Structure 1
Amino acid sequence: MSLTASRDPAPRITYGAVLGSPHVARLLGGTLTGRLPGAMAPVAIVLWTLAAGGSIAFGGLLCALFGLASALSQPVKGRLMDRYGQTVVHLPTALLNSALLIALPVAGPRGGPALATTIVVAAGLTAVPLEAGLRALWPSVLPDPRLRHAALALDTGTQGLLYIVGPLLAAALASARSPAVALVVTSALGLAGTLVVATAPPSRRWRPAPTTSSDGPARRLASADLVALFVSLTGIGFALGALNVWAVAMADQHGRDMLSGLLPAAFSTGSFLGGLVYGHRTWPGSTTHQLLTGSAGFLTGWLPLLALPGPHAATITVVLPGAFLTVVVACAYQATDALTPAGRTSEAYAWLILSIGVGQAGGTALSGRLADHALTIAALPAAGAAFTLAVLLLARPGHASARRGRHRREHA
């Protein structure tokens, strides 16, 4: 997709048309189900650790290692998909990941902290790269750019639902049965969702577009534009990581435990609603312009937190930056698509995911150290958003490569 938008206003499209297109509902539903372990496993791991007699600090460490291992392994798995296709990556990783999640409650207590840590890290490394894989499938599944635009926004917006449903489901299973059961169900859902996607014809047939002379050598993936884009997205991740710790601090400050889940849920609801609005029509301006506008809105949405609002006002406030999150991420994927050489798209999407994940880890770590300072921790999400906007304004990724990206997409 070109970074330059058409001047002619395009007619509105419906999500019914998107979901009614062949394979779309299956791919989207399977991907969301297969990605539930990413939202369920951290909660289930902490609860299992406590049930096994461990400390909450050790449970938090295991969660951090799980997320970090998952993020760091994304580019490797993306590169493998670009070389060998999706099936040979999705199926083995899904089987290993499910087996490891089941092995944790079976072998973990017997082997002590060292074995539990090894299993959790291995589970993170084998997390299935469904998100990057789905983004690579959209051009072949939906050749119409308008439908693809709506599908990408719907795909991005519904990600927030994972982090509402996933933790609640894991906690409910652990409470009703046991944390071990929660881990088993987590592994089963991940495997089932992956099988739905991996056995779908588009995923089985998918191969990267062949490299052409205009794309340059494969090593040109790390262009200045892409590096600037990925660096900017660490600020988005930083804001997300800071949000989670700020929510816990708000819950502690006001004596309302539900706030720790309610505030992220309100943010995710805003992301879902923002995705529905953004994907319902084609917006004017280039992708770069939309990316800057979305980043400015994302920053603006966090600023009211500097007034240290109460629980009700804070819950309403975080809906706004959530709505702009989908715009930023969807535009970032479009820009990545246009700036990436043919045959390297899955790997590029994986680096995008890694960038946000690294920023999120940094935001979580710094916020945890500053959790006792109310104003400082409330300002950290805005600081991450400001970093994103500043890098994008300085670099404006895409202007130099728009023509090349358009030429490649038109001849793909």
Structure 2
Amino acid sequence: MPNPYAKIFSEPGAKGFSAAAFVGRLPLAMAPIGIVAMLSQTLGEYWLAGAVAATYGIGNAFLAPQISRLVDRYGQTRVAAPATVVSALAFLLLILASHLAWPAWTLFAAALGAATLPSMSAMVRARWSELFRDRPELNTAFAFESSADELLYITGASLSVGLAAAWFPEAGMLACTLFLVLGSAAFLAQRGTEPPVRAPQADGPTGSAIGLRPVQIVTLALIFVGAIFATAEVSSIAITKELGEPGGASLVIGVYALGSFVLGLVLGAINPTMPLQRQLLIALSVLMLTSLPLLVAGSSVALLAAAVFLSGVAISPTFITAFGLIERRVPASMLTEGVTWVMTGIGIGMALGAFVAGWVVDTFGPQNGFWVSVVASAAAWITVALGQRTLAGERAAAPAAAATALSR
């Protein structure tokens, strides 16, 4: 059986832009925790560190879709290059403000400027879509990128904290900025694979991609999935601490990502032909069922790791099918923005999930934090189940063609 991943990377330019994107999106995982690690050490105030990190996160959640909308309209290089420069300079300003103990308002201003970070995850998926539009290889490419995202979130956060602890407080954020500049420059320099700018069709949808029903449904579902992801981290940390083995949290969180990473690669190799909206519903069904053992897995680190590994296997398949649906249901002229909204949904879900899970842990105990995962997985399933007809629709870019086909 031929290797499907070897096939997608045999396309001219695929290895180059994918490798550059891997480096360029490390800041997505490194920046939030890196800001906390840096400011908590230099200023000694966790509330301020958290508030600055939240400013960056919320700012990026709002700005990234707007930047991606401009990318769709004017091209990746013309928009992402200046946005990256602004973000990198703001990161450097934040590092300097932290090191020199400048007034707090400068930290918040710099964090907001750094939030202009473009969505590298969306831009790399746009390039894969250009190579394999309406071909089965696209699912394999999305599977690879979703698995890479899982790996990046774990390694990026660990690298950022590890550098700050081992070297000096600003080390993680300096590395984050370096990866942003080098990765983005290498990615944008590869003009041969950059998607062309496509004008919206005269009879197609206009405005923002978030106005499209499929984007709304998938984004809402992935807000709940992001909450599941964050809950696993918060609850695992709390349970391992209660068990007297706080170091076990790293193992538990690591196997959570590992389960999702492995199954994501397997799904991309198999490349099932079932309609994507049904695949998404099945993945969420598995996610909902595998969240239940978490409620009784707090007696040991080993049992917790096993339950968390099981609950993580459906995360990457959920991401893969969600991005596949966006590619098929959103016009090509809105694709980067559509993907970015979904990525934003995941980030919002992680932030809300961490907050709610933290409150549940503080109020009802560490083990009960996983009830957030149970409720969130059920909410994601209901969202997608109710949206099956909408998600099964024809590509939004060609409503006239769809109408013609229905009339035959």
Aligned to 1:23: 13
Q: Does 1:261 align with 2:250?
A: yes
**TM alignment of 1:294-313, pairs within 5 A:** 294-309=283-298, 310-313=300-303
| Cα contact 2:73–2:199 (8 A) shared by 1 | no
Q: Which residue of 1 aligns with 2:341?
A: 351
More displaced 10-residue stretch of structure 1: 385-394 or 307-316: 307-316
Conservation of the 8 A alpha-carbon contact between 2:204 and 2:399: no
Q: Give the alignment of 1:238-277 within 5 angstroms.
A: 238-277=227-266
Structure 2 Cα separation of the partners of residues 400 and 168 of structure 1: 39
Structure-1 residue corresponding to 2:167: 177
Tell me by how many angstroms 1:164 deviates: 2.1
Q: 1:105 to 1:139 in 2, by over 3 A?
A: closer
Structure 2 vs 1, CA of residues 214 and 12 (structure 1 numbering), >3 Å: closer, same or farther? farther
Match of 1:60 among 37, 50, 67: 50
The amino acid that maps onto 2:306 is: I
> Aligned residue for 1:3?
none
CA contact (8 A) 1:210 1:342 kept: no
Letter in 2 for 1:334: G
Residue in structure 2 matched with residue 141 of structure 1 by the alignment: 131
Mean CA deviation greater in 179-188 or 289-298? 179-188
> Cα RMSD (Å) of the superposition?
2.4
Q: Is the 8 A contact 2:209 2:337 kept in 1?
A: no
Contact 1:236 1:359 in 2 (8 A): yes
Q: Indicate if the aligned counterparts of 2:213 and 2:390 stay in contact, CA closer than 8 A.
A: no
In the TM superposition, what whole-angstrom CA distance separates every residue of 1:275-299 from its partner, at most 9, and x where no partner exists? 1101002213211110101111111
Aligned residue identity for 2:385: L
Partner of 1:120: 111
Which moves more between the two structures, 111-120 or 327-336?
A: 111-120
> CA-to-partner distance for each residue in 1:17-56, whole Å, 9 max, x for gaps?
2223221221221111111112222332222212213222
Partner SS for 1:128: coil
Partner-residue secondary structure (3-state), 1:111 = coil
What is the SS of the residue equivalent to 2:152? Answer: helix
- Length-normalised TM-score, structure 2: 0.90
Q: How many residue pairs get matched?
A: 398
Contact 1:245–1:364 at 8 Å: present in 2 too?
yes
Residue number in structure 2 paired with 1:396: 388
Between 36-45 and 268-277, the greater mean CA deviation after superposition: 36-45
Q: 1:387 aligns with which of 379, 386, 394?
A: 379
Matched, 1:321 2:314: no
Superposed displacement of residue 13, structure 1: 4.4
Mapped contact 2:297–2:303 kept (Cα < 8 A): no
Amino acid at match of 2:109: T
Q: 1:213 Cα deviation (Å)? A: 4.4
Whether the 8 Å contact between 2:127 and 2:195 is mirrored in structure 1 is yes
Query: Contact 2:42–2:169 at 8 Å: present in 1 too?
Result: no
Alignment CA distance shift 1:184-1:269 (3 Å)? same
Q: Distance in 1 between matches of 2:207 and 2:179?
A: 36
Question: Any conservation in 1 of the 2:209–2:215 contact (CA below 8 Å)?
Answer: no
Residue 167 of structure 1 aligns with an amino acid whose one-letter code is A
Aligned partners of 1:68 and 1:361 also within 8 Å: no
1:252–1:112: structure 2 CA closer, same or farther, 3 Å change rule?
A: farther
Task: Quote the offset at 1:210 in angstroms.
Answer: 3.6
**1:78 Cα offset (Å):** 1.2
Who is 1:102 aligned against?
92
Q: 1:406 to 1:273 in 2, by over 3 A?
A: farther
Conserved? CA contact 1:141–1:202, under 8 Å: no
Residue correspondence of structure 1 range 88-237 to structure 2 within 5 A? 88-108=78-98, 109-123=100-114, 125-143=115-133, 145-203=135-193, 205-218=194-207, 222-237=211-226
Equivalent pair of 2:329/2:395 in contact (CA under 8 Å): no
Report the Cα distance in structure 2 between the residues aligned to 1:320 and 1:208, rounded to whole angstroms.
Answer: 42
1:170 CA drift (Å): 1.9
Deviation at 1:160, TM superposition (A): 1.2
Structure 1 unpaired stretches of 5+: 1-10
SS of equivalent to 2:12: coil
Aligned equivalents of 2:85 and 2:207: distance in 1?
Answer: 30
* Partner Cα separation in structure 1 for residue 148 and residue 65 of structure 2: 23
Q: How far, CA to CA, are the matches of 1:314 and 1:285 in structure 2?
A: 33
Instruction: Check the 8 A contact 1:208/1:345 in 2, yes or no.
Output: no
- Counterpart of 1:80? 70
- Hey, what's the Cα distance between the residues in 1 that align with 2:395 and 2:152? 36
The Cα of 1:400 is off from its aligned counterpart by: 5.5
User: 1:229 and 1:399, CA in 2 relative to 1: closer, same or farther beyond 3 A?
Assistant: closer
User: CA deviation digits over 1:371-405, x for unaligned, max 9?
Assistant: 23234312111211111001111221545623767
Contact 1:337/1:345 (CA < 8 Å) preserved in 2?
yes
Report which stretch shifted further, 291-300 or 215-224: 215-224
Q: How far 1:171 sits from its partner (Å)?
A: 2.7
Q: Judging changes above 3 Å, is the alpha-carbon distance between structure 1 residues 403 and 346 closer, same or farther for their aligned structure 2 residues?
A: closer
Residue pair 1:208, 1:344 contacting (<8 A) in 2 also: no
Distance of 1:111 and 1:78 partners within structure 2: 32
Secondary structure of 2:43's counterpart equals coil
Is the 1:221–1:341 Cα contact (8 Å) retained in structure 2? no
Which has the bigger relative contact order, CA under 8 A and spacing at least 6?
1
Q: Structure 2: where are the runs of 5+ without partners?
A: 403-408
From the superposition, tell whether residues 52 and 330 of structure 1 become closer, same or farther in structure 2 (CA, over 3 Å): same
1:12 shift after superposition: 6.1
Instruction: Look up the match of 2:4.
Output: 14
